[in-house]
Structure 1
Amino acid sequence: KAEKWYLLAEQENPQNAGILNALAIIYQDQGNLDKAEEYIRKALAISIKLLGEYHPRVASYCNNLGGIYQDRGNLDQAAEYSMKALAIDLNFFGEYHPRVVTHYNSLGQIYHEQGNLDKAVEYSSKALSIALKLFGEYHPSVPKLFNSLGGIYKNQGHLDQVEEYSNKALAIDLQLFGEYHPNVTRDYINLGGIYEEQCNLGKAAEYVRKALVIDLKLFGEDHPRVAIIYNNLGGIYKEQGNLGKAEEYSTKALAISLKLSDEDHPKVAIIYNNLGQIYQNQGHLDKAAKYINKALAIDLKLFGEYHPTVAIRYNNLGQIYQSQGHLGKAEEYSTKALAIDLKLFGEDHLTVARDYNNLGAIYHEQGHLDKAEEYSTKALAIDLKLFGKYHLTVARDYNNLGAIYKDQGHLDKAAKYINKALAIDLKLFGEDHPSVAIDYNNLGGIYKEQGNLGKAEEYSTKALAIDLKLFGEYHLTVARDYNNLGAIYKDQGHLDKAAKYINKALAINLKLFGEYHLTVANIYNNLGKIYKKQSYLDKAAEYINKVLAINLKLFGEYHLTVANIYNNLGKIYKKQGNLEKAVEYSTKALAIDFKLFGEYHPRVARDYNNLGAIYQDQGHLDKAEEYSTKALAIDLKLFGEDHPCVAIIYNNLGAIYHEQGNLGKAVEYSNKALAIDLRRFGEYHCVVATCYNNLGMVYKKQGNLEKAVEYSTKALAIDLKLFGEDHPDVAIRYNNLGQIYQRQGHLGKAEEYSTK
């Protein structure tokens, strides 16, 4: 309506710069930035012609043009025109003038977007100090400036300072306007955002709902501000794990925005994007991709390829494709995001660090661990340069690198990096924060991998306690913690306790997501593994087949998780003695992984190794050797000699040579496995116990009974220390020693150990 009347006014007076400027502002609000730029440039040209270069009106139009460039993502041009506006008004009015306040604040926001946070603070602080001197504290412009500075401090990670500034803004606006005013709404929304960042989600929702009550009273349901608040509430409910409510509020926001504006509007794109992320969390990945592609199409139409928002959309699509297992596509879209951000911002920018981080995660999942390390290290270097050591993004980078080092088998380095992340998060947030829970959880995973199961349990229990306190029972992070503790209890041999915790995780995820969700599938998978270890093989197969049904429905045949499931089913059928079916399913896993990743990938090596073990059980020892040797060649190429995966294959080959009667080679390969595992894990680890046990059995077969006793006793000592007396592995060690003592003729000792 506003556009219609101003266009009529333009027809009457096409040289009126004020009318042209008003139209530019309308087109900017509509998201039609080409038209906005066209009209503001007309207004600027007319004003320069009439009034000369150095006139306040020219400064106003320069400032507005800077704002349009800022919306386009052309931040250098935005800064250039905002600087022109500042220079004119400084020349005309001097430092202490309201217009100068506006320009300093605008420049602060531009530098903020460029990631130049020190300069952003400098300019925004100038704006605030001039405004305080001109107007005093209780003036409508001052809360806005407190909020602007707060936004910059938020990105610097100074959340206490942000809260202080936002509360100041609220106090001033309440005194000036009372409760029912748009400025008060803005303050409540900002505070909600801060509490969301602090993960105080209950308080975040409370403040945003206060804003909603005011705006509904002031404007009614069908208003852009109400749409924004519904969208914000959707985001908070998403973080709380209440995905149904998140979808409901974001859908309300979308309906209002579509009613008020065309589809091709930046705010509509934002809501499509947010809905896409909600659907992603719900596991509806096709729907997620559909909505984010809608957002991308709008943004490409409005802004063209080289815009920060377009980079965000590419990034989000990359993450969805990663979740779907389309890792090539994920890499392609994340690389597009990186190219845009490098062109717009250069290397040292927080969005570039984010892109490197996302690509690192994709390479990590592809098994390209060196490339993953390279990109994650780049992200860390940028974030350290921008924020210093104590910042949440730096903690995130340390965490990601820790996960990569864990998969590389560098467990000490992994623990070192995750402990760095933990130290930062504890300093920033204190104990009761989701980031701290993630750190404890990750450390638990590393200690589990090191075989230090007591410490693994301790840290994972800490994570659970924090998440229960923050989110209550029915939250996806609590389910994750129960699941992780279940896996630790499984390794400790406490299988009933393991099943209890994993069933708790299952109950939460079924309530949150329903049956057909990949998180539910993962938990069925873990239950299947426990039932397999308990030798309830029919039950194990039942649960793994549930996993297969879910994943086939979600992803189709050619997906990495489907390969994992075939692999697990192969192991169950192997344990049942159904070796033909074991070969069939393990071969399916190999075919998928080969198609997805090519020959040289850890998953392909794993599949060859598993098939080797099945052929060994079938007595096809030559075929077993062939497949295990293929696995070894891949892992040696990927990881080098000194890696736990290589040790596993040496161990397996040792067992094959043992069975073939090639005892010299069996000793050689088993000793290679032992050397790697001792270097990696030290003496007291379950895999070291396995190596000693295997060597003991080879020496027994060679007739070297003293050495057989020595190595089997070492295996027993480790397992007793790790698991205590009542554990299946300890029973195996006692049994083996009983057989050796029997061969030696020490029948009393043989009886004692076999009875144990």
Structure 2
Amino acid sequence: EEGEKPQQKSMLKSSFVEWNNKAVGFVEVQRFGAAKTYLKNAWRLAQKGKGKRSNVTSRLESKRSISDMIRTSSISQHVKPRPRSEYDEGMEYFGLQRLHDDSENGDAVILYNLGRVYQYQEKHDKALSTYMHGLAVLEDSDDPEITTILATLSGISTIHYKRNSLSDAVNTLNVAISLANDKCVCGPDSLEAAALLNCLGVVRYSLSDSEKALEALRTSLRLRKAILGENHLDVGTSLNNIGRVHFQTGGYEDALEAYGESLRIRKAILGTSAVDVAATLFNKGQAYHQLGEAQEAMKCYEGFLQTAKAVFGEFHRDVAIVLTCIGQVHHEQKAFSPAMEFYMAALQTGSRAFGTLHPEIAVTLNKVGNLHYELGDLESALIVYKQGLAVEQAVLGPGHANVSVTLTNIAEIHKQRREFDKALDYYKTALTLQKMYAPQSKLDIAATLSSLGLVHHQAGDYPGALECHQECLRLRREVLGDEDEEIASTLTHMAISLIKMNMHDVALEALLESSRIRKSQRAAGRNLSSRDMAFTMYNIAMIYHERGEHDLALIYYRETSRIEEATLGQNHADLGVTYNKMGQIHYKRGEIDWALHCFTRELEIERECQGPDSPSCARILNEIGNIELQNGNAKRVMECFVEALRIYRKAGMDDNNLVIYGRKLYHFEIVQSSAAPSA
């Protein structure tokens, strides 16, 4: 009987080997339930054949085991999982393992395979506990199979990754890489090391640790090219991942290069209709989009859309996402009608794929709101923004940055509709959330304070505006220092409130400092807004004008006009206002020819901007007529006054709007009939 025991064990081993391998076959055809049943039976048979089990815990107490090195509290954590991905990131390099009659560690292999089945079924807790059990069995073995250890560690890290326990994933992968790099195991130049480094790069990318991600991925790529050749599918996977990191850091040209190489390899091996080919095509489209190459981006997006619909069906989440991207390209090109069509299609598809409460639905709703806003349909924009806000609050929570952005969008609409109380309420809500949930985001808080200050200003609450701008200035100086365009902008806003409060001296000090910063930044080669510079110079001129310091006022008005002509063109309304102010000073100083020049330029601009029958043109003609009256140019006086009167009457305005310095209008009207020709 004792002689029969080895034979019985051999028969049991053959049985659990067979059951394990059948389970692997079931997994290959996605019959996960059957695979799980066979693996559980295989495990029971393996335990029968093993006899008395050794005490794993006591064996491990004397040393720091692999299990101890990677042990975390993740099994009891309740974290939001990552979205399921149909695309290959190279995170599942180690596949299921078949057994042979002479295989060692068969029970650990069975547990590893069972963990993989749970993983495929998205049962992450069971997968993780099964992997950890298998790892303990391997550590209890006298001669553990290193490939199974690495595969198990890879599985554990993948579960952490899928559950967004990214630091646990990094820790587990570092342990695995350390083991794989041992020359007595695989060695640092092995495919196993390359695969684990690729996984580490993907997790680092998800942590936005771009530098370390790129380091790991480049090492993985180098190893794979050396071992597998330039055109292997795994090389294409590494290149795609490298492209994603470049995209994350704003290196869009480098991303395009990596995506292009990945696409070439994947197309050659998988064909043009494979989902991984489509994934790289989409990634390439995003890089083109960021570079402003709309047509190239559109081609990539449309290629992805075609494959995604064919493979996943009409109502898949990625179909909804790419529809939004296509809509955005149209939107950016001001093709509003097709943009709206694609956004609506994205919402319909997304509602079927995600449900109505999902971050992607909120993203698309906000883009629809932006489109309505650009079209001037503020009511529709407001309705859609509020729909998006409700979704964001439900799925992202009040502390998410997108919630604050949407609140400020809603506030901006109320501001434009001069509903200042509502605008203030929304801005204050956004500010409260930012201070509560993201106090470290000082520049975002400062931006909201700036907007809040502008609403207070428009509402006539100048002290309230000044208070907001002062707090904004403090935060911006903490982050940016004293020599930044944002500091100059804030100083200008403060000055405008100070002017309204008749604190002209303090306002002038702030404006001159703003001007100095902008000139310094421009001299350093910074690309600044010329219009903002013109606005600052104009207000400096206004203060000097009010104080009667006309020489200084003219210097700044002329500089304002020079900037406006260079940046806004010869006939912009702002330029007309500046010429009017210069004309006033020249007239007051008795410089009649210069005054006529300035008012004539103002008239030319006003006719171009508002049309020849605008009442503002009549006002300027009236001014020019009075100057010509002082010059004794009777013909020109009559031409200007007659034309001004004609415009006023055409606009249904009273004749008394025409003013002749020192005279009454009726004396003039007796001489000229209402039907006099225009000048």
- With the length of structure 2 as denominator, give the TM-score of the two structures: 0.58
> Contact 1:211 / 1:229 at 8 angstroms: preserved in 2?
yes
Letter in 1 for 2:170: A
Shift of 1:487: 4.4
1:629–1:294: structure 2 CA closer, same or farther, 3 Å change rule? Answer: farther
Q: Which of 416, 419, 424 is the matching residue for 2:386? A: 416
Letter in 1 for 2:202: G
Q: Which of 181, 186, 195 is the matching residue for 1:216? A: 181
Q: Following the alignment from structure 1 to structure 2, what is the Cα–Cα distance between the partners of residues 627 and 239?
A: 54
Partner of 2:674: none
> Contact 2:305 / 2:322 at 8 angstroms: preserved in 1?
yes
Partner of 1:438: 402
1:211–1:358: structure 2 CA closer, same or farther, 3 Å change rule? Answer: farther
Shift of 1:214: 3.7
1:659–1:461: structure 2 CA closer, same or farther, 3 Å change rule? Answer: farther
Q: Which runs of 5+ in 1 are unaligned?
A: 1-92, 109-122, 154-161, 508-522, 551-563, 588-607, 631-652, 664-697, 705-756
Q: Which of 157, 164, 169 is the matching residue for 2:125? A: 164
Partner of 1:300: 267
Q: Following the alignment from structure 2 to structure 1, what is the Cα–Cα distance between the partners of residues 524 and 339?
A: 29
Residue aligned with 2:426, SS: helix
Partner of 2:323: 356
Q: Which runs of 5+ in 2 are unaligned?
A: 1-14, 48-106, 141-145, 416-422, 457-464, 496-510, 540-555, 581-600, 622-650, 658-679
Partner of 1:450: 414
1:269–1:479: structure 2 CA closer, same or farther, 3 Å change rule? Answer: farther
Which of the pair is proportionally richer in helix?
Answer: 1
1:584–1:454: structure 2 CA closer, same or farther, 3 Å change rule? Answer: same
Partner of 1:235: 202
Q: Following the alignment from structure 2 to structure 1, what is the Cα–Cα distance between the partners of residues 242 and 322?
A: 22
Partner of 1:205: 170
Partner of 1:124: 32
> Contact 1:544 / 1:569 at 8 angstroms: preserved in 2?
no
Partner of 1:282: 249
1:202–1:463: structure 2 CA closer, same or farther, 3 Å change rule? Answer: farther
Instruction: Kindly indicate whether residue 475 of structure 2 is the aligned counterpart of residue 501 of structure 1.
Output: yes
Instruction: Kindly indicate whether residue 552 of structure 2 is the aligned counterpart of residue 583 of structure 1.
Output: no
Partner of 1:530: 490
Matches within 5 A, 1:266-345: 266-345=233-312
Partner of 2:161: 193
1:458–1:323: structure 2 CA closer, same or farther, 3 Å change rule? Answer: same
Q: Following the alignment from structure 1 to structure 2, what is the Cα–Cα distance between the partners of residues 543 and 107?
A: 68
Residue aligned with 1:222, SS: coil
Matches within 5 A, 1:271-670: 271-391=238-358, 393-394=360-361, 396-398=363-365, 400-401=367-368, 403-404=370-371, 407=374, 409=378, 410-426=380-396, 436-451=400-415, 452-460=423-431, 462-463=433-434, 466=437, 478=441, 481-482=444-445, 484-485=447-448, 487-488=450-451, 491=454, 493=465, 494-503=468-477, 526-527=486-487, 529-533=489-493, 534=495, 535=511, 536-539=513-516, 541-542=518-519, 545=522, 549=526, 565=529, 577=557, 578-587=560-569, 611-618=572-579, 620=601, 624=605, 657-658=615-616, 660-661=618-619
> Contact 2:323 / 2:345 at 8 angstroms: preserved in 1?
yes
1:449–1:271: structure 2 CA closer, same or farther, 3 Å change rule? Answer: farther
Q: Following the alignment from structure 1 to structure 2, what is the Cα–Cα distance between the partners of residues 394 and 541?
A: 41
Q: Following the alignment from structure 2 to structure 1, what is the Cα–Cα distance between the partners of residues 115 and 346?
A: 30
1:322–1:172: structure 2 CA closer, same or farther, 3 Å change rule? Answer: same
Letter in 1 for 2:278: A
Residue aligned with 2:261, SS: helix
Q: Following the alignment from structure 2 to structure 1, what is the Cα–Cα distance between the partners of residues 21 and 410?
A: 57
Partner of 1:265: 232
Cα deviation, 1:613-667, whole Å, max 9, x if unaligned, reads 334433555665576579xxxxxxxxxxxxxxxxxxxxxx99x85575499xxxx
1:480–1:367: structure 2 CA closer, same or farther, 3 Å change rule? Answer: farther
Letter in 2 for 1:215: A
> Contact 2:385 / 2:409 at 8 angstroms: preserved in 1?
no
Q: Following the alignment from structure 2 to structure 1, what is the Cα–Cα distance between the partners of residues 523 and 277?
A: 39
Q: Structure 1 residues 451-460 or 617-626, which shifts more?
A: 617-626
Shift of 1:399: 5.2
Q: Following the alignment from structure 2 to structure 1, what is the Cα–Cα distance between the partners of residues 175 and 315?
A: 39
Cα deviation, 1:691-732, whole Å, max 9, x if unaligned, reads xxxxxxx9x99999xxxxxxxxxxxxxxxxxxxxxxxxxxxx
Q: Following the alignment from structure 1 to structure 2, what is the Cα–Cα distance between the partners of residues 525 and 364?
A: 29
Matches within 5 A, 1:723-742: none
Letter in 2 for 1:381: Q
Residue aligned with 1:140, SS: helix
1:235–1:524: structure 2 CA closer, same or farther, 3 Å change rule? Answer: farther
Q: Percent identity?
A: 15
Letter in 2 for 1:585: T
> Contact 1:189 / 1:211 at 8 angstroms: preserved in 2?
no
Cα deviation, 1:471-508, whole Å, max 9, x if unaligned, reads xx6xxxx477456445445535322322343456658x
Q: Which of 170, 173, 184 is the matching residue for 2:152? A: 184
Structure 1: which 4+ aligned runs deviate by more than 6 Å?
700-704
Matches within 5 A, 1:687-726: none
Q: Following the alignment from structure 1 to structure 2, what is the Cα–Cα distance between the partners of residues 444 and 284?
A: 30
Letter in 1 for 2:153: T
Letter in 1 for 2:426: K
Cα deviation, 1:255-275, whole Å, max 9, x if unaligned, reads 222222212122222222222
> Contact 1:406 / 1:414 at 8 angstroms: preserved in 2?
no
Q: Following the alignment from structure 1 to structure 2, what is the Cα–Cα distance between the partners of residues 135 and 303?
A: 36
Residue aligned with 1:335, SS: helix
Shift of 1:190: 1.0
Letter in 2 for 1:105: V
1:335–1:701: structure 2 CA closer, same or farther, 3 Å change rule? Answer: farther
- Matched residues, number: 465
Q: Following the alignment from structure 1 to structure 2, what is the Cα–Cα distance between the partners of residues 211 and 703?
A: 91
1:360–1:338: structure 2 CA closer, same or farther, 3 Å change rule? Answer: same
> Contact 1:173 / 1:184 at 8 angstroms: preserved in 2?
yes
Q: Following the alignment from structure 1 to structure 2, what is the Cα–Cα distance between the partners of residues 163 and 312?
A: 25
Shift of 1:582: 1.8
